[in-house]
Amino acid sequence: MKSETKKNTATISNIKRNWWKEAVVYQIYPRSFMDSNGDGIGDLRGITEKLDYLQDLGIDVVWICPMFKSPNDDNGYDISDYQEIMEQFGNMADFDQLLAAIHERGMRLILDLVVNHTSDEHPWFVESSSSKDNPKRDWYIWRDSQEDKAPNNWESIFKGPAWQHDATTQQSYMHLFSTKQPDLNWENQAVRDAIYKMINWWLDKGIDGFRLDAITHMKKEPGLSDMANPNSLKNVPCWDKMMNVDGVLNYIDDMCRKTFNHYDIMTVGEANGVSVDQAEEWVGEQKQRLSMIFQFDHLQLWNEDSESQLDLIELKRIFSKWQKGLQNSGWNALFLENHDIPRIVSKWGNTEKYWFESATALAVMYFLMQGTPFIYQGQEIGMTNTQFDGIDDFDCVGAKNHYAELREQGMPEQEILHLLSKIGRDNSRTPMQWDATEHAGFSCHAPWLKVNPNYQSINVAEQLQDSGSVLNFYRRLIALRKAEPVLVYGEYDLVLEADEKIYAYTRSLDEQQLLIICNLSKESVQYYYDNKALREKNMILSNYTKGLDNDFLLQPFETRIYRLGKA
Ligand code: NOJ
């Protein structure tokens, strides 16, 4: 919608009110959400069928991962036509119906904007690769090379060199992701204009915003010289010349001026490499750039050593730094899960003994900070990592490349599979578990990726019936955030900073103050706050049903929310 007609400029405690600050976002990975036509692949009509479920949960905004035409090398993040729907997902009429159905329910829709790269099957790239003097040659990043000598030593984020050699022209094109995802040349104004035209086409259709994929990679360091050490951080290449490089904000500015700023929409950037000190430049109220960014600092605690305990002190430091860093100047996007990382309850929770308690305590921990909370499909029912028997069960292009690389280095098969089962992206991409029937109610056909074997005990149908389920806990949590402006706009302050097991913080707005306490360990822990204030009558939500004890002893993964100040 054009901005002039809809903007709400009121403020709360000096923070500008915006619908997207008050919203709860639900992320859908369309391939795995709901299959309406029985081909084993999720689709747009499947999403439409489930909108009542999302509305009942309290969702305001739906974010759908790419559903555009694509050969699916990276499940839709390789787009071959930005203005067509992927055939497996339906057609434009299905999309229009979905958008209308979302709006009818008072909800909004944001789409994934993947413009760092296209598919190699996009007509722009087909033209660009046809000859050195094709007018679109410069739409992508080509450099002279030889079969066995890439233009520089950069590595792809999906493993292997970041270049693909073309024998006919003796040049290579850059691909920071898979070989089928050539990077667009953002230096070229014609490329930018073509992208803006496409963005405005979608915005004029009435969508409510975008999640901006890989947005910090659009600018590459001029000269494209070698990196000092492309393998500097364990197995993670150093991306300093291809991530958050000086000048990337000029592209964002140009894009905002010519597209986003003319609409009342929300934009959330996938902003790998942006530090908290730089974040205001990206999302500062005065800057007129993005609404919010995803930061990934906390995922660094998510290392490959899966047996290691969560370093809670460090987690608190990271989140608090972002909370304080953007307080009164910008806005955070809050998330623990997405389609690129394993399931949180398997990682930081305890699926053996405290599955319910840990899924709900982790939920409270991140959800009530200042920012817009995102829920990834299945997180609201506590879906867990899955089990794959062999590499053939995997789908993710990154996992397959990783497997090949480690096999070449001589790592035993079982060890690689064990590693991938902990870190693989497919963990979060297994089909949504709707009920206990075959294929988890996702499809009547064997799905494209195996259903998690635990679907008979973890599924939506069962949890809808159970008032003590993870799902109903999420529902209450969402309702609470909506009922309490302090949970949207209130200031965040960390308490019990040195406690290694408890994550606790307050949210304060004018006279109101809430205390959020989460024991993120499998032990019972004693805690001391201003305990006089913590009476049962002041407690507004907990994941344990048994009454409070007088000792201020938190049970394993217990979470409690108290009202300290006036209602
Ligand atoms: C980030 C997306 O979240 C991921 O799924 C994708 O593979 C890459 N960007 C490349 O588009």
Among 68, 79, 114, the mutation site with the greatest number of ligand 1 atoms within 8 A of its Cβ is: 114
For ligand 1, atom 2, which residue shows the shortest CA distance? 213
181 within a domain of the structure (yes/no) = no
Please classify residue 349 by burial: count the beta carbons closer than 10 Å to its beta carbon, then call 0-12 exposed, 13-18 middle and 19+ buried. buried
pLDDT for the residue 88: 98
Residues 193 and 234 in one domain: yes
259 within a domain of the structure (yes/no) = yes
Q: Which residue would you say has higher pLDDT here, 417 or 534?
A: 417
Among 217, 293, 340, the mutation site with the greatest number of ligand 1 atoms within 8 A of its Cβ is: 340
What range defines the domain where residue 396 resides? 387-426
- CA-to-CA distance for 54 and 46, rounded, in angstroms? 13
180 within a domain of the structure (yes/no) = no
Residues 409 and 516 in one domain: no
335 within a domain of the structure (yes/no) = yes
Using the mean position of ligand 1's atoms as its centre, give its distance from the Cα of residue 22 in Å: 27
Q: In this prediction, what percent of the chain has a pLDDT beyond 70?
A: 95
Residues 405 and 363 in one domain: no
pLDDT for the residue 5: 39
Span 228-239, mean pLDDT? 63
For ligand 1, atom 6, which residue shows the shortest CA distance? 77
Q: How confident is the model at residue 303 (pLDDT cuts 50, 70, 90)?
A: low
pLDDT in tens, 376-388: 999 999 999 998 8
Q: Considering its fold, how many domains does the chain have in total?
A: 4
For ligand 1, atom 11, which residue shows the shortest CA distance? 77
Could you tell me the sign of the dihedral formed by the alpha carbons of 88, 90, 91, 92, in that order?
negative
pLDDT in tens, 238-260: 788 999 999 999 999 999 999 99
pLDDT for the residue 527: 86
Q: How confident is the model at residue 109 (pLDDT cuts 50, 70, 90)?
A: very high
Q: In this prediction, what percent of the chain has a pLDDT beyond 90?
A: 81
| Token pair listed for 191 | 């490329």
351 within a domain of the structure (yes/no) = yes
pLDDT for the residue 239: 82
Is residue 113 within 8 Å of 210, Cβ to Cβ?
Answer: yes
Residues 242 and 342 in one domain: yes
For ligand 1, atom 10, which residue shows the shortest CA distance? 77
5 within a domain of the structure (yes/no) = no
Q: Is residue 567 predicted with pLDDT exceeding 90?
A: no
Q: Strand, helix or coil at 490?
A: coil
Residues 196 and 63 in one domain: yes
Residues 160 and 295 in one domain: no
pLDDT for the residue 232: 55
The CATH number given to whatever domain includes residue 97 is 3.20.20.80
Residues 97 and 150 in one domain: no
Is residue 151 within 8 Å of 158, Cβ to Cβ?
Answer: no
53 within a domain of the structure (yes/no) = yes
**Residue 270 CA: which ligand 1 atom is closest?**
1
**Residue 397 CA: which ligand 1 atom is closest?**
7
pLDDT for the residue 145: 97
Residues 272 and 294 in one domain: yes
- CA-to-CA distance for 210 and 252, rounded, in angstroms? 13
Using the mean position of ligand 1's atoms as its centre, give its distance from the Cα of residue 47 in Å: 21
Q: How confident is the model at residue 292 (pLDDT cuts 50, 70, 90)?
A: very high
Using the mean position of ligand 1's atoms as its centre, give its distance from the Cα of residue 566 in Å: 44
Using the mean position of ligand 1's atoms as its centre, give its distance from the Cα of residue 77 in Å: 6
Using the mean position of ligand 1's atoms as its centre, give its distance from the Cα of residue 203 in Å: 22
Residues 352 and 499 in one domain: no
Residue with tokens 């969702």: 59
Using the mean position of ligand 1's atoms as its centre, give its distance from the Cα of residue 163 in Å: 18
Residues 327 and 281 in one domain: yes
For ligand 1, atom 4, which residue shows the shortest CA distance? 340
Q: Which of 64-73, 116-125, 538-547 is the least confident region?
A: 538-547
For ligand 1, atom 5, which residue shows the shortest CA distance? 340
**Identity (one letter) of the amino acid at 174?**
M
Q: Is residue 305 predicted with pLDDT exceeding 60?
A: no
- The overall average pLDDT reported for the chain is 93
Nearest to 278 by CA among 219, 338, 326: 326
Residues 326 and 406 in one domain: no
| Token pair listed for 20 | 């997207």
**Residue 114 CA: which ligand 1 atom is closest?**
11
Q: Is residue 404 predicted with pLDDT exceeding 70?
A: yes
485 within a domain of the structure (yes/no) = no
| Token pair listed for 197 | 């035209």
The CATH number given to whatever domain includes residue 169 is 3.90.400.10
Q: Which of 2-11, 15-24, 295-304 is the least confident region?
A: 2-11
- pTM for this entry: 0.95
Point out the residues that are catalytic: 213, 270
Residues with Cβ within 8 Å of residue 498, at least 6 apart in sequence: 313
Nearest to 549 by CA among 538, 528, 535: 535
Q: Is residue 231 predicted with pLDDT exceeding 70?
A: no
Q: Is residue 308 predicted with pLDDT exceeding 70?
A: no
- CA torsion, ordered 362, 366, 367, 373, to nearest 10 deg: -120
**Residue 158 CA: which ligand 1 atom is closest?**
7
Residues 450 and 362 in one domain: yes
Using the mean position of ligand 1's atoms as its centre, give its distance from the Cα of residue 328 in Å: 30
Q: Is residue 1 predicted with pLDDT exceeding 80?
A: no
Could you tell me the sign of the dihedral formed by the alpha carbons of 118, 121, 126, 132, in that order?
positive
Residues within 6 Å of ligand 1 by CB: 74, 77, 114, 177, 213-214, 270, 339-340
